[in-house]
A and B are shown apart, each in its own frame.
Chain A
Amino acid sequence: MSVASVTLDSNRGRDRTDARNDALFRWALRFCALLVLAALLGAALSTLWGGREVLFGDGWRFLTSAQWNPVENRYGAWAPIYGTLVTSLIAIVIAVPLSFGIALFLTEIAPAWLRAPIGTGIELLAAIPSIIYGMWGLFVFVPFMAAHVDPLLDASLGRLPWIGTLFQGPPLGLGLLTAGIVLAVMIVPFISSVMREVFQTVPVRLKESAYALGSTTWEVAWDIVLPYTRQAVIGGIFLGLGRALGETMAVTFVLGNAYGLTASLLMPGTSISSSIANEFNEAAGLHRSALIALGFLLFVVTFIVLLIARWMLRSLQRKAGKA
């Protein structure tokens, strides 16, 4: 027995355990990833199954009807879908420029000592539970909207042709616009922290070259930082949009929970998730089926929105490639 053969033997043993451990690790990882898929598929299929009575019984009428009548057991999902899309759209329109500004300020303009506290502050905002946003919305923001913003909008923008119909109505304080603004406050932390992270990855050399060529800060941000990080920025926006589409508690408090379809953003509406949260407790039979079907529709809506995001990203990349 020489020393060399002993080490060789033990090496061979190590190889074997290494290979086994590697395989185990790979299987564990695969299991983790598959668990996500299984959970997603399970949730989608069980909502589809739970809502089958309405989805297959009523078909398209369930999607296009704005009626929601528990007394006569006739249900249509259009009002909640409309409310979900409109509030999320308002939230994105407000939150994206705001988050862009925050992230840009933190990475380009803010002095170093200010970056950490503001950054932490934003992350803390993301940790506030949605019920707190809902209560703040109901007790603080709704009265403010009713007393100051709604009458002002009604008297100014509400008088204009065309877009006027968006801003007419009694000063309730509740409604699609209020819900959209509260949602915007809720998703700003998500979008801005993603943007901040990726803006930091832009090579200093690129930015300094642009500054050296005489670019303003805005030009650097718009022409260098944003194109360089576009993909991640859009990812961050859709992370926020995903949260806005599914947000329940905060929206339930300030949306007004009414099934009517109105053009005005100052009027109350309803959303998919708040309808489910409100009515599930006392719903039985077809009513329950309709609510579960709404849950399935939220999957579908979110999926379509993500598809659009992918498509937008691809067309952007193609354009960038041509340029």
Chain B
Amino acid sequence: MQILSKLAFALGLGVAGLSGSAMAADVSGAGSSFVYPVLSKWSASFAEKTGNHVNYQSIGSGGGIAQIKAGTVDFGASDKPLDAAELKEFGLGQFPVVIGGIVPVYNIEGIEPGKLVLDGDVLARIFLGKISNWNDAAIAKLNPGLKLPTGQITVVHRADGSGTTFNFTNYLSKVSPEWKAAVGEGTAVQWPTGVGGKGNEGISAYIGQIKNSIGYAEYAYALKNHIGYALLTNANGKTVKPGNASFQAAAAGADWAHAQDFNLIMTNAPGDEAWPITATTWAIMYKQPKNAANSAVVFDFFRWSLTHGQAQAQELDYVALPDALTQKIEAYWQAQFKH
């Protein structure tokens, strides 16, 4: 009965949408797979409210940047910001739309999720292969109350190019000069050790199966799959738990005021509460769009999302942008984009 009434409701909405279709527009975007779940949810709600459809294709950040540069979509989405020169060359502008957190995940027998504590330096040395056993003194020092097993560590990383990898390696590069020199940062890097899983699913499958393994994944993903996740010591030397509060603290503490075109990676953010590997995704649009009508719809969409869509984002374990940042984005739109 409930299903029937829901169906009737949906049909009614569909009819309403059709009747209002004289004004409705179809706009398109492409890019980051990190934001795909929340963008598709926003797009469905936005279509219900306005009749305008936002079609988003999750083809990867690199693809999104290529598509917007080619002008085949109305907006692109990337986990990695473009620098000022590149934006200027193509007449583009960019702004963050949603925040998420990345956590180290592990499978160590007898150690519950959220019990292991790591810091940036130890994490980097594990992923470099320099710390290769869980009984290493450096790990024991961070976990005085924990009984760590003797077992060779297997590192699990992403095999596919991904924004998650970009933010994770960016963090390791910031906290470990050794990592920066040996590996560096990027959507894909030359991993010194370990095995590669395809996508978040691949990571969780490998972590689940390989004993004494450690990897990294989006927080929402680790929660849903009940994988062990570690606490981290942040830039202020405080040990923090991943979650809405610490992700938002990182976004609030980041120095957006001095970041031109919001070109700022939030990893290793200052603040006692800040989670050190917090990431965002940028929407990229033309400042002088060829199709001004479509571009206006996209702005409506993001304006609606940044104000009304944040509850839906939290349901999916993304984090709402702090108010101060939303205001900055609104000001940026007014100043930079032709409406």
Contacts and interface: CB of A to CB of B under 8 A. Distances in A.
9 contacts: A71-B185, A72-B184, A172-B210, A252-B198, A253-B202, A256-B196, A258-B193, A281-B160, A282-B188
Interface stretch (A88-96, A98-106, A135-143, A199-207): A135-143
Given A70-B186, A71-B189, A282-B162, A257 B63 contact: no
A146 B160 contact: no
B205 A281 contact: no
Contact of B195 (A69, A258, A279, A284): A258
Interface in B89-112: none
A173 B189 CA distance: 24
B210 A70 contact: no
Interface stretch (B54-62, B247-255, B267-275): B54-62
Contacts of A138: 205, 209
B128 interface: no
B60 A281 contact: yes
Contacts of B18: none
A282 B191 contact: no
A64 interface: no
Given A174-B195, A279-B160, A70 B154 contact: no
Nearest to A279: B161
Contacts of A274: 159
B209 A257 contact: no
Contact of A70 (B59, B159, B188, B206): B188
Interface string A33-73: 00000000000000000000000000000000001111110
Interface string B197-212: 1100010011001100
B205 A139 contact: yes
A52 to B, nearest CB: 19
B190 A70 contact: yes
A13 interface: no
A283 interface: yes
A259 interface: yes
B322 interface: no
Interface in A251-294: 252-253, 256-260, 268, 270, 274, 277-279, 281-284, 287
Interface in A211-227: none
Contacts of B63: 281-282
Top 10 nearest A-B pairs (CB, nearest first) are: A282-B161, A257-B196, A257-B159, A281-B60, A71-B184, A256-B195, A69-B190, A70-B188, A278-B159, A282-B62
Contacts of A256: 195-196
B65 interface: yes
Interface size class of A (residues with CB under 8 A): 20 to 34
Contacts of B209: 138, 142-143, 146, 173
Interface centre among B62, B65, B152, B194 (most CB of A within 10 A): B62
Nearest to A252: B198
Contacts of A281: 59-60, 62-63, 160-161
A146 B162 CA distance: 28
Contacts of B162: 282
Contacts of A259: 190-191
Interface size class of B (residues with CB under 8 A): 20 to 34
B244 to A, nearest CB: 28
Contact of A252 (B65, B159, B185): B159
Interface in A158-172: 170, 172
B264 interface: no
A146 B210 contact: yes
Interface of A: 67-72, 138-139, 142-143, 146, 170, 172-174, 252-253, 256-260, 268, 270, 274, 277-279, 281-284, 287
Given A72-B184, A174-B210, A257-B198, 14 more contacts: A67-B190, A68-B190, A70-B190, A71-B184, A172-B195, A174-B195, A256-B196, A270-B196, A281-B59, A281-B60, A281-B160, A281-B161, A282-B187, A283-B161
Nearest to B209: A143
Contacts of A67: 190
A80 B260 CA distance: 41
B183 interface: yes
A69 B191 CA distance: 9
Given A172-B210, A278-B160, A283-B161, A268 B196 contact: yes
B265 to A, nearest CB: 15
B66 interface: yes
B59 A71 contact: no
Interface centre among A70, A143, A173, A257 (most CB of B within 10 A): A257
Contacts of A279: 159-161, 188
A138 B210 CA distance: 11
Contacts of B152: 170
Contacts of B186: 70-71
A79 to B, nearest CB: 11
Contact of A278 (B185, B198, B205): B198
Nearest to A143: B209
A252 B196 CA distance: 9
Contacts of B188: 70, 279, 282-283, 287
A282 B77 CA distance: 13
Interface in B14-60: 59-60
A72 B186 CA distance: 10
A257 B190 contact: no
Given A259-B191, A284-B66, A172 B59 contact: no
